Homo-oligomer: A and B are copies of this chain.
Amino acid sequence: MSTSRLLSPLHLCGKSASLHRHKSAVSVSVRSLLCSENQKSHRMMASYQPSLSIDNINPNVKVMEYAVRGPLVIRAGEIEKELEKGVKKPFKEVIKANIGDCHAMGQQPITIIRQVLALVSYPKLLDDPRFPEDAKERARTLLKGCRGGSMGSYTDSPGIEVIRRHVAEYIERRDGIPADWQNIVIGGGASDAIKNVLKILICPIDGKKPGVMIPIPQYPLYSATLAEFNMAQIGYYLDEANNWGLSVDELQRSITEARKTCAVRAIVVINPGNPTGQVLTKQNIQEIVKFAHKEKLFILADEVYQHNIYDPNSEFHSFKKVMHEMGEPYSQMELASFMSASKGYMGECGLRGGYAEVLNMHPDVRAQYLKAITAMLCSTTLGQACLDVIMNPPQEGEPSYELYLKEKTSVLESLKVRAKMVADTFNSMEGFSCNTVQGAMYAFPQFKLPPKAIEAAKAKNQAPDAFYAFELLESTGICVVPGSGFGQRPGTHHFRTTILPQTDKLKDMLDKFAEFHAQFLKKYS
């Protein structure tokens, strides 16, 4: 793999931006996996030249990268297959700490969510006395909201009306201020909802490429989508020394540089942070809002981890609420806030449910935004149904309430313990420093590498953090994502690990990690 060069945020703007580029060795690895069983058709092709070649396909797709499913993860998949085939390794299983995939790591589904899904899928079960009445009531309401009473019908493109109403009620309860169900647009996961908003912003201004401010480090959905849309990525560094908070000075530096070459249209804030795990203070949010107002930016608030707060000194403040409390003109600013069924205590990643609440968009723009999603018809009804239960959970007095509360609390309490365990362990390791995991599902520790390791990485044409992560994977089966996939200050090394392995397994993983690190330091000292 070639050096994963991190372009400084200044340089990203105006380029066909990619936070990191992997070449040669990686391509080979990708190809070997993707094409192993296509050798035959490849050979056959010799006599027929395909119309598509690497030189005449979408250039934006070519520069796009998505590290959470990148080459390291592909190698992890290969190792899993090798283990299945009985290949001897110094470990028995791959631990996928690369992706926030809760159920894959042993988290159990919330019972009432799954009961409602079973009921709406197969309504004959509505007669089954073993299903609680509150699950049945929710299922009946959902079926009534579907044309022909079936989850098999298309819904309105922004989602089933009754679910959009439940989302609005959830937001009202959360923030204590009104929410309009017509501002809710349900998507196939938050990723889908985010892409649909970013898409609207694709428009050069005065010949300048449109750009969006994103945190560095960031969740690679943003870098991948901006690359696909040929929009400039305008990175602003999070302040690692200040527990990954946002500094207005840095926002100002970033936008000032960017404006030289591109039209800055929006700012993305991820709170709680991914991959960084910080929870923004109300004051920090106010500063960001004032900055966005001054610079006339559309705000995208990625708030999918709003249930995942572990630090007793931290509290989740929604951008909507803070902006409302700040009063005019801030309360009138454009805002899209995103939420997902995939994270929180439910972790229903595979079902694909999420929403955007879009505020203060000009009605003409709003009409175009809503029109743009119609051609994809609607998001999955069962993903929508899952979202519904999260938005409209059992209330005290309902038959499922106690079980629901127990399940929810148990997941969140356990994540809290794991968040602390992960940060503490890394902080106990030589050369590591890890901020408190206040929220979300990840730690993003910084680590120092001995010069010999950096040389060894260079010799292998790899970024030092990727070199480290590959050695970790091959030695222990632990799969993390190198910091270069998210962005980091030049010269620093990080990786993202989830805190999702169940407690015993996590403890085991961290023990192995510490052992590996000690060996690694010894090897390259």
Cα A15 to Cα B362 in complex, Å, equals 27
Among residues of B, the one whose C-beta sits closest to the C-beta of A27 is B367
Check if A366 is an interface residue, CB within 8 A of chain B: yes
Question: Which chain B residues lie closer than 8 Å to A30 at the CB level?
Answer: 367, 371
Check if A379 is an interface residue, CB within 8 A of chain B: yes
Check if A450 is an interface residue, CB within 8 A of chain B: no
Bin chain A's interface residue count.
Answer: 35 or more
Do A202 and B58 touch across chains, with their CB atoms under 8 A apart? yes
**Quick check: which of A247-255, A349-357, A390-398, A419-427 contacts chain B, the rest being far away?**
A349-357
Cα A352 to Cα B381 in complex, Å, equals 8
Among residues of B, the one whose C-beta sits closest to the C-beta of A109 is B152
Cα A118 to Cα B122 in complex, Å, equals 6
Chain A positions 130 through 160: 1 when the CB is less than 8 Å from some CB of chain B, otherwise 0: 0000000000000000111011111101000
Do B101 and A350 touch across chains, with their CB atoms under 8 A apart? no
Do A380 and B351 touch across chains, with their CB atoms under 8 A apart? yes
The residue from B53, B351, B362, B366 contacting A152, defined by CB atoms under 8 A apart? B351
The residue from B57, B119, B347, B382 contacting A368, defined by CB atoms under 8 A apart? B57
CB distance from A94 to the nearest CB of B (A): 11
CB distance from A123 to the nearest CB of B (A): 8
Cα A50 to Cα B329 in complex, Å, equals 11
The residue from B122, B147, B296 contacting A117, defined by CB atoms under 8 A apart? B122
Given contacts A58-B200, A147-B101, A363-B34, are A114 and B109 in contact (CB under 8 A)?
no
The residue from B155, B182, B352, B371 contacting A188, defined by CB atoms under 8 A apart? B352
* Residues A14-49 near B (CB distance < 8 A): 27, 30-31, 34-35, 37-38, 41-42, 44-45, 47-48
Check if A235 is an interface residue, CB within 8 A of chain B: no
* Residues A61-113 near B (CB distance < 8 A): 61-62, 64-66, 69, 96, 99, 101-107, 109
Interface residues of A (CB under 8 A from B): 27, 30-31, 34-35, 37-38, 41-42, 44-45, 47-48, 50-54, 56-62, 64-66, 69, 96, 99, 101-107, 109, 114-115, 117-119, 121-122, 125, 146-148, 150-155, 157, 180, 182-183, 188-189, 191-192, 195, 199-203, 205, 220-221, 224-225, 228, 265-266, 296-298, 328-329, 332-334, 346-352, 359-372, 374-383
Contacts A34-B370, A44-B332 supplied; 6 other A-B pairs, CB < 8 Å? A31-B363, A58-B200, A58-B201, A103-B148, A117-B121, A351-B381
Instruction: List 11 A–B pairs whose Cβ atoms lie within 8 Å, in order of A's numbering.
Output: A37-B182, A52-B365, A103-B147, A115-B122, A117-B117, A117-B122, A118-B122, A146-B350, A152-B346, A154-B350, A382-B383
